[in-house]
Structure 1
Amino acid sequence: MSAQIKLTHTFEAPRELVFQAFTKSEHLQNWWGPKGWAFEVLQADFRPGGVFHYSQKPEDGNKMWVKFEYSEIVESEKIVYTSYFSDAEGNKVRAPFDENWPMGTLTTLTFTESEGKTILTVVLAPVSPTEAEDKIFRESKDMVKEGFSGTFDQLAEYLLKIS
């Protein structure tokens, strides 16, 4: 079985607001990605079959492009997409940090509300990985969790500002 990474985060905000923070580029640009990186949305078409294409750039590094292809959306409850590193035109490319990173990663976000808070569950899995891709994905579990944790801390701060 392919590797899978699962993480959860609880936000002090209603589910509808957290869901909107993931689906509207005017929200995403305020919190998505690594802290301190420039973020630019090229395309935001939030629907099954739609695409979210953006760039992110560290202060001292090169711009990286990422593309999400949405496959399932259940309003306020669930978002499923496959993410790819891409070029500026949206063509799939190898990850700039490791040639063995999986070409595609299936991401499932589930939003559950409990007592006015939102519990977000994220499940990531490589799409049709080679043995080397599966291995690097497994070995990167802590890095992936750390990256999402920092991003979710930024979202938590942002939600406090807008709620």
Structure 2
Amino acid sequence: MTVKSEGKELVITRVLNAPRKLVFKAWSEVEHLKRWWGPKGFEISVAQLDFRPGGFFHYNMQSPDGNQMWGKFVYQEIEAFEKIVWLNSFSDEAGNIVRAPFSDLIPLEIRNAVTFSENNGNTTMTLCSGPFNATEEERSFFEGMFESMHEGFRGTFDQLEEYLSAHS
């Protein structure tokens, strides 16, 4: 996995031993997504997935000690097997955007774009994340979280890789 910041975005690239079509399905179908998305060790419950531009993914994350947090993706752009762009936020149970329960400085919304390219049956997945409509203070805080976000995404993408290896 490669991690770098280009400007004020976090960029993570991971090569997966799975065909692009399967990797895309893992991101776009509820039965796949709920089995790998989120921090390592958390249980994900899906409230709703409407995978289309303007649609959303609303989910609950429960930590091993029982704490719960809600999250939401609002899809902006989808190109089948190529790219998914969404705004990610913490939410309440009704799907309203709320501040992160652990910091008032995390931007309310983070724009994510994940792209997929296939070479000899392996898929290169690149995720670019950056603050959306954030204050300067929120942008600065986001940039200071790159190392911690890298660790979080490593665990999430490890789960994706394990899931794909069992389904390819």
Q: How many residues get paired?
A: 163
Q: Shift of the alpha carbon at 1:94?
A: 0.3
Matched residues in 2 for 1:157 and 1:143: separation? 21
Match of 2:53 among 44, 48, 70: 48
Alpha-carbon distance in structure 2 between the residues aligned to 1:98 and 1:71: 26
Alignment of 1:23-34 (within 5 A): 23-34=28-39
Query: For residue 70 of structure 2, what is the amino acid of its counterpart?
Result: W
Percent identity over the alignment is 47
Structure 1 stretches lacking a partner, 5+ long: none
Aligned position for 2:86: 81
Contact 1:31–1:154 (CA under 8 A) maintained in structure 2: yes
Q: Distance in 2 between matches of 1:150 and 1:62?
A: 19
Matching residue of 2:3: none
- Could you give the per-residue CA deviations for residues 90-145 of structure 1, whole angstroms, max 9, x where no partner exists? 01100111101001000000001011100000000100211110111010001111
Amino acid across the alignment from 1:42? A
Shift of 1:2: 6.8
Q: Distance in 2 between matches of 1:49 and 1:118?
A: 26
RMSD: 1.2
- Partner Cα separation in structure 2 for residue 48 and residue 131 of structure 1: 28
- Residue 132 of structure 1 aligns with which residue? 137
Identify, as 1 or 2, the structure richer in strand: 2
One-letter amino acid of the structure 2 residue matched with residue 17 of structure 1: L
What is the identity, as a one-letter code, of the residue corresponding to 1:14?
P
Give the gaps of 5 or more residues in structure 2: 1-5
Distance 1:97 1:88 in 2: 17
SS, match of residue 75 in structure 2 = strand
Corresponding letter in the other structure for 1:23: S
Corresponding residue of 2:107 = 102
| One-letter identity of the residue aligned with 2:115 | T
> Which 10-residue stretch deviates more, 26-35 or 86-95?
26-35
Equivalent residues of 1:71, 1:81 under 8 A apart: yes
- Equivalent of residue 141 in structure 1, options 143, 146, 152: 146
Q: Deviations over 1:53-110 (max 9, x none)?
A: 0010102142100010001000000000001100000011001111010010000000
* C-alpha separation in 1, matches of 2:72 and 2:115: 20
Counterpart contact for 1:102–1:134, Cα < 8 Å = yes
TM-score normalised by L of structure 1: 0.97
Q: Give the TM-score of the pair, scaled to structure 2.
A: 0.94
Q: 3-state DSSP class of the match of 2:97?
A: coil
Runs of 4+ aligned residues of structure 1 deviating over 4 Å after TM superposition are: none
